[in-house]
Amino acid sequence: MGKQKPIYVQSEIKTSMDKLWEYTQTPDLHTAWDLRFTEINYLDKKPDEPQKFLYQTKIGFGLAITGTGETAGQVHKENGERISSLKFSTEHPLSLIQEGRGYWKYTQTKKGIEFETQYDYETNFGKIGRIIDAYLFRPMLGWATAWSFDSLRLWLESGLHPKQSLQKTFTYWTVCFLLAFVWFYQGFVPKLIVSHPEEVNMLAATIGTSIDIIMAVQFVGIAEMLFGLIWLFPFNKRKLFIVHAAIMLVLTVTAWFANPNSFIQPFNPITLNLLMIGLSIIGYANSDQLPSAKNCRRRRTRGTRG
């Protein structure tokens, strides 16, 4: 297996150089937006010494990876560009990372600050560690870096704190998974697998009996399953939530005309459909200003150098 490419992320942020520097170089502010670190503590130093620090990353189940780092140098160029380079390492037995190095680069542009990072590291656990890194850990770490950069951008540009971004993202995707489950289940079980008599009767009352109703119900089931899967795709579904709420209103009215008695049954269309509309409203309310790794550049452009 060949050597892996370094992780590279670039974001353009509409803010001042000093403010971006503060939010990326102050430990408490840094850990607020960066998913990669739970805690960073600067150690005491003399004025002419490099800044050393301790870091911690919680990985769940009460476990945390700890390590040390050192700011290797800071360069303030005549054109206003700033570079902060560092190296880091850990001896924690669970850490896939052994040691690494990288930099942060701040470049003034007409629109704001071009903020970029590149870093690389050596792995533990031999060949197995390199395989895990190549196919799982490095892509995940690259995504987390880009998502964090966009979360920082929203914080500086819109005042949306990273904790709020996390809450909105969690709520948004919870709604998406719930809608995906409901649509897939409703298409798969009562229509495609069972072809429930109630489903058959309702569709027959809606479109007539001149076609094979069982086949039509199964076709509708497949369509519902595909619609459910759409909710799992990684694109912003703000407009889809509006369309979905409208669809549920239409389906509710259609169910009434097809079988009014269904509305007085213990499990009836109106309760499910209103719940689905409610989920659409919640999803819509949480779908604006969501951080996304897609908003960052993940590959170098020609002429870009660290």
Contacts of 283 (CB under 8 A, 6+ apart): 171, 172, 175, 176, 179, 237, 241
The domain spans of the chain are: 7-160+291-295, 167-285
Predicted pLDDT of residue 219:
83
Rounded Cα gap, residues 38 and 228, in angstroms: 35
- Tell me how far apart the alpha carbons of residues 294 and 150 are, in angstroms, rounded to a whole number: 9
Q: Given this model, what pLDDT does residue 76 score? A: 75
C-alpha dist (Å) from residue 147 to 169, 202, 231, 301: 11, 46, 20, 20
Q: Per-residue confidence of the chain (306 residues) as pLDDT tens digits?
A: 678 899 999 999 999 999 999 999 999 999 999 999 999 999 988 877 888 999 999 988 889 999 999 986 677 777 788 999 999 999 999 999 999 999 999 999 999 999 999 999 999 999 999 999 999 999 999 999 999 999 999 999 999 999 999 999 999 999 999 999 999 999 998 888 876 666 666 666 566 555 677 777 888 889 999 999 999 999 999 999 999 999 999 988 887 766 677 666 666 778 888 999 999 999 999 999 999 999 999 998 765 555
Give residue 22's pLDDT: 95
* pLDDT confidence of residue 10: 98
Give the model's pLDDT for residue 300: 86
CATH level 2 (architecture), domain 7-160+291-295: 2-Layer Sandwich (3.30)
